[in-house]
Every structure is written in structure tokens, then in C-alpha cells.
Amino acid sequence: MAPVVDALASKYHVTNVGLPGSGHSDWNDNIKNIHDIADAILAVLPKEAIYVAWSFGGLVAQSIAIRYPERVKRFVGLGATPKFIASTNWIGFPEPGYLALVRPKVAEQGFKAFLRGYYEYEFSKVDPKADSYSLMQKICDHRVEIDSTVLCKLMEICDSTDLRKDFKSISCPIDLIIGNEDENVPKAAWQNIKTLNPNVKIHEINGAGHAPFWTHPEEFNKILNRILLRGNMNFLIGEWSFTNSILMDIYGQILEDPGSKGTGMLIYTASGNMAGQLSANRVESSKKEIEFKTDYIAYYGTYEFDSNSMQVTHHIVNSNIPVLVGASIKRQVKIIEPGLISLKLIEPETFITNQPVYRELFWRRISNTSSYQV
């Protein structure tokens, strides 16, 4: 999941959890089924979040969505299914399942060598290979070994888990990103999965197997970005109140920012217009700041939002700062938590200070979008 975490961390607040028995997470002998694994990590998970989970992790996420629906806003499954192993009237990985396949190979090769071979197989049909290929090799080389007993227990749980009945009750949106050459979730099984729950939407990646975020990162990231913003493509629309800001130089050094405790409001409309005002705390503002009119900035114009790059561009029509009139200012949008975002300059600004600086502004939502729909 490393490429997924890296791609999302620059835009969202990400909680990346290792399952019991993997990585540096300890195993608990009391774990008997998929629900036990879910409960073992529940305490460190957000109270409400979008769950992006791969393969076996998808079963864990489904367990949480089934039993704690208030905690899962959306389930995004990567190569995920409510039941992996084939059975009567269900297409899946051939019986008897993963344990019979994996145990002898791990016993012969060791876990790290087995894992490396698995990923090499996933990349075998990809030419040219994505840049993520070299990252995959490094991760495999430095991967912590998994105790063979624990690995077998995880395989047993995967083989025996059947969430089809409860999968029907999952009420949140369900998006499944699956490669059309995935042998673990065969394309022939997709209609069966969709039949279980009308909330399911399947996103196909041609030529990909079970790990499309490794083998087809560009296409995968575009799909994932669209999913995360679907139904929320206009999440910027509404009124936002300024909370604080961070000022830094081009080297990343944090600078003193007199306006960090100021006040302000930012408004985006559904028709593509925007307006913003930002005022420094006048009590703390120096005479020099007031003289250069940096204690108050206001402008209005139009905006464009790119959901793939998570960047918003303000096209300024008019402003109390003459140099801003006609300018287009691009900022990186990052979701800190529901209702709290930051906007960080892509290019440094120079019109306020004597040196190029980057300013990251934090805004909290104070209204929904209803007042600005057209």
C-alpha cells in the first residue's frame, strides 16, 4: 500500500495501519476470525473516515463497515471482494484456497522471497514497468519477516471468510478498483458482487492484476482521486472561516507570520466565482505592515479546481492589492479532516515580503453549499 499512502498523504489526513502479525504489529492469539482482526485495530482508527483497503485488508474494512457503519463514510476496495474463495454459485480463487498454495512455497523460499516473487509476477505483463517497480523491490528487500504460524493463520482466515450475507447491508458507497486480469477477483465474479449490494461501483483497470496501484499507478491514482471526490466534486463550495496560517521560506524554514492569528472568510460558489478577505490581528500588526497594507487583503474573481492534482486556481478580477489584479494564483488543496482544509501556494509570493515565501492558509467550513447552488 506504500504508493497509495504516498499519493494520498499530500492531499488528505491519512491513517495507515498495519494488521496484527504484519510489519511491526504484534499478533494476538485470541484472534480467530476477520472480525477479531478488525476489532484489534479499531482503537487506532478515526471515528469517521473513508476506508481504502487492499485485498485481505478489504475484508477487514468490510467487517468494520458492516458492524460499525457510522465509522465508514465510503469503502474503496482495491482487489477486494466479500469472499475470495470459489464455492457453489460463486466465482473466486480456486479451492482449496490460499493456505494450500502459500504454505509450501513460504516454507521453501521464506516469506520475503515469496513476496518478491509475487510482485515480480504482478509486474511480469507490464512493459515498460512503472517507476514504482524499483520502490517495490526496495520494500520487499527490507520487509520484516512474518512468523510462518501467523501467516498460516491469516491465510486460514482469508480462506474461510464469507461476508456475502452481511455485505448486502453495507449502506455507504462502495467503490472497487480491480484489474481485469486479477486472478483473485476474476472479472467473471464482478456481476455477482454488484448483485449483492446496489451501492457497488466497479472501476476496471485494463491489463492490471491484483495490485494495480503498483503496476498501473497513473491510471489507478486518477480513478482513486475521482472516487474520493465523487459526489463531493464541489466540496469547496460554501463559506470558509480562516483559522491560522504558516509562513515559510523557499527552504522550508518556518517564519514569523503576523497574520497567523488574523481573521478572514473565503467563499466559493457553484457557478465558479470566489471571494476572499484576510485581515491580520490589528492589535498585533506593526505600523510597517499597516503602511504597506499587508494587514488586510481582499480579492474576488473566478476559480478552477483540478480534482486530479487537488489544486485550485484563483483568477483575480479585482483586489485592494493592485499587483494582484489579473493574476492567477494556484494553491495546493489538502483535506486535514472533514470540514478543515489548507491552501498552500504552488509558487512563492513576493508582493508582501522582501523575499519569496510560501504561505499555507487553514480554513474551516462554516456553511454548506445550499446558498450557492445555481
d(CA 331, CA 247): 14
d(CA 294, CA 286): 10
How confident is the model at residue 184, as a pLDDT? 94
User: Model confidence over 330-360: pLDDT tens digits?
Assistant: 999 888 876 888 999 888 776 656 678 888 8
Residues 195 and 332 in one domain: no
Q: Is the pLDDT at 373 greater than 70, yes or no? A: no
Residues 247 and 219 in one domain: no
Tell me the residue type at 135: L
Residues 224 and 335 in one domain: no
Quote the percentage of the chain above a pLDDT of 90. Answer: 47
How confident is the model at residue 259, as a pLDDT? 57
Provide the domain limits for residue 273: 238-372
Residues 187 and 211 in one domain: yes
Q: Is the pLDDT at 93 greater than 70, yes or no? A: yes
CATH number at residue 244: 2.40.128.320
- Contact (CB, 8 A) for 136 and 143: no
Q: Which residues contact 329 (CB under 8 A, 6 or more apart)?
A: 313, 314, 316, 345
How many folded domains does the chain comprise? 2
Q: Is the pLDDT at 107 greater than 60, yes or no? A: yes
CATH number at residue 88: 3.40.50.1820
- Contact (CB, 8 A) for 264 and 278: yes
Residues 166 and 261 in one domain: no
Bridge partners, residue 265, by sequence: 241, 277
Residues 274 and 336 in one domain: yes
Angle at 200 between CA 196 and CA 206, to 5 degrees: 115
| Peptide bond connecting 20 to the previous residue in cis, omega within 30 degrees of 0 | no
Q: Is the pLDDT at 257 greater than 50, yes or no? A: yes
Average pLDDT, stretch 140-166? 89
User: Model confidence over 23-82: pLDDT tens digits?
Assistant: 778 888 899 999 999 999 999 999 999 999 999 999 999 999 999 999 999 999 999 999
| Residue closest to 148 by CA, chosen among 106, 207, 205 | 106
d(CA 239, CA 371): 9
